[in-house]
Structure 1
Amino acid sequence: MTNHDSNGGTTIKHRHRQEGPQKHVIAFIFSIVLTLIAFASVAAGGVNTAFTVLLLLVMAVLQVLVQLGYWMHLKDKGHMIPILFMAGGFFVAGLAIIAALYWMWW
């Protein structure tokens, strides 16, 4: 798609690519599957507690990535600044947790 500007030159107008509902449906189904896996691991009861906790943590991290990537659109171009601020926040929060644990157990 081209347009002519007032100086006689040609400008190229880029269209914003629309994202259809297919990816949102897939992300929603993936979120439901992650939730069902986490629920099943706890409901099973006979599974090792350490394995269940580790599985829940992995499911939680995957769920956060799906939520941020597809529902908050952080996978799209132009979202590097929010990603950097969130990474900085996670870093500071992690340091605060480590410092608190170190302080309590010292």
Structure 2
Amino acid sequence: MTNHDLNDGSAVKHRHRHEGPQKHIIAFVFSIILTLIAFATVAAGGVNIAFTVLLLLVMAVLQVLVQLGYWMHLKDKGHMMPILFMAGGFFVAGLAIIAALYWMWW
């Protein structure tokens, strides 16, 4: 008797597609490259400060997107609610930062 014989058809079968390690390895290498670029920019020393800060912010945003997309699996189907809640949290945090900066320089 197999598992298929025990299934009376009432349960819906879902196949889980296994990605394998390839995408995780690519995401890991991409994260390392982003970190090395940021480190090299700061270690160079002769780079313009404004450019360094802008590059570090871009690298940080890309790093967050890679971490959330691949390691937290937010790129997969069925993760729209966590994405919406995080977007709302980022929006509220951004407004709080803008309000604090506005309040300090008013």
TM-score when normalising by structure 1: 0.89
Aligned to 1:61: 61
Q: How does 1:17-56 map to 2 (within 5 A)?
A: 17-56=17-56
CA distance in 2, matches of 1:26, 1:72: 15
Deviation beyond 2 Å, 4+ runs, structure 1: 2-6, 11-14
Listed one character per residue, the Cα deviations across residues 53-100 of structure 1 (whole Å, up to 9, x for unaligned) are 000000000000000000000000000000000000000000000111
CA distance in 2, matches of 1:91, 1:34: 25
CA distance in 2, matches of 1:14, 1:92: 37
Q: Any unmatched runs of 5+ in structure 2?
A: none
Q: Give SS of 1:41's match.
A: helix
1:19 Cα deviation from its structure 2 partner: 1.4
1:41 Cα deviation from its structure 2 partner: 0.3
Aligned to 1:5: 9
Q: Give SS of 1:88's match.
A: helix
Q: Give SS of 1:74's match.
A: coil
CA distance in 2, matches of 1:65, 1:48: 26
Which gives a bigger RCO, structure 1 or 2 (Cα 8 Å, sep 6+)? 2
CA distance in 2, matches of 1:48, 1:96: 29
CA distance in 2, matches of 1:103, 1:15: 53
Q: Give SS of 1:20's match.
A: coil
CA distance in 2, matches of 1:99, 1:54: 21
Over the matched positions of the two proteins, sequence identity in percent amounts to 88
CA distance in 1, matches of 2:98, 2:12: 52
TM-score when normalising by structure 2: 0.89
Q: Work out the number of aligned pairs and report it.
A: 101
